[in-house]
Amino acid sequence: MANEQEKEAAGRAAAKLVRDGEVVGLGTGSTAYFAVVALGERVKAGLKMVGIPTSVQTGELARAVGIRLTTLDEHPEIDITIDGADEVDPKLNLIKGGGGALLREKVIATASKKMVVVADSGKIVSVLGKFPLPVEVISFARTVVEKKIVSLGASPKLRTQPDGSAYITDNGNQILDCSFGKIADPAALALTLSNTPGIVEHGLFIGLAKLALVGRGDRVEELRP
């Protein structure tokens, strides 16, 4: 319960950062959920904004709470993005993708003037890697990519649905959850994965977050890189 309270506190604090007339990237996941709900409340109270969701699920939530949606075609530059993370290190490097939306999340983050991360205190780590790193792959290349990831010292596992079938992203791809253990050099690993054919995107977000709002007990802490 305390975990949920920290998530809600962080999400609501981030929603307060949005200003009238802004284009807002809407993240995916359990903490970003609270930010979207809080933004919906602000819209009902008169805030003028448009949102670009990072997943089908977030788009449905945003519409349900009254947020007007747009696209990157209409607004290729985003003022602020609010999104969660599975892990956050002291430099605000992130592991993301536990919710399966890493590709769209990274596109939105890189198109944003400012990315704000929202998290509960359990997501803060000294070194990335305890959480398995999501890697989105095209199914055609999965076996080859798995071999490459094993050669890098990780154990890849295909993400599956409850019925045992492969989990499919909003973009029609599969996800390998890769247990690397402690990632000593996240930037170097990110580059290696980005340069591997068959990998569409990976969940290492390096140097993208400008601010983290972290729920810790009954307060929200601000962390900067």
DSSP one-letter code for 162: T
Q: Is 222 a catalytic residue?
A: no
CA distance to 72, 127, 190, 220, per residue, from 212 (Å): 24, 16, 21, 10
Residues 146 and 137: their CA atoms lie apart, in Å, by 10
- Amino acid residing at 81: T
Kindly write down the DSSP assignment for every residue of 110-146, as one continuous string: HTBS-EEEEEEGGGB-SSS-SSPEEEEE-GGGHHHHH
How many Å apart are CA 41 and CA 59, to the nearest integer?
16
Give the DSSP H or E segment for 120.
strand 115-120
Task: Extract the tokens encoding 91.
Answer: 């430099």
Which token pair is 126? 């000294």
Q: Which of 6, 87, 105, 146 is catalytic?
A: 105
- What is the enclosing helix (H) or strand (E) of 42? helix 30-44
Tokens of 118: 């929202």
Q: Which residues are catalytic?
A: 105
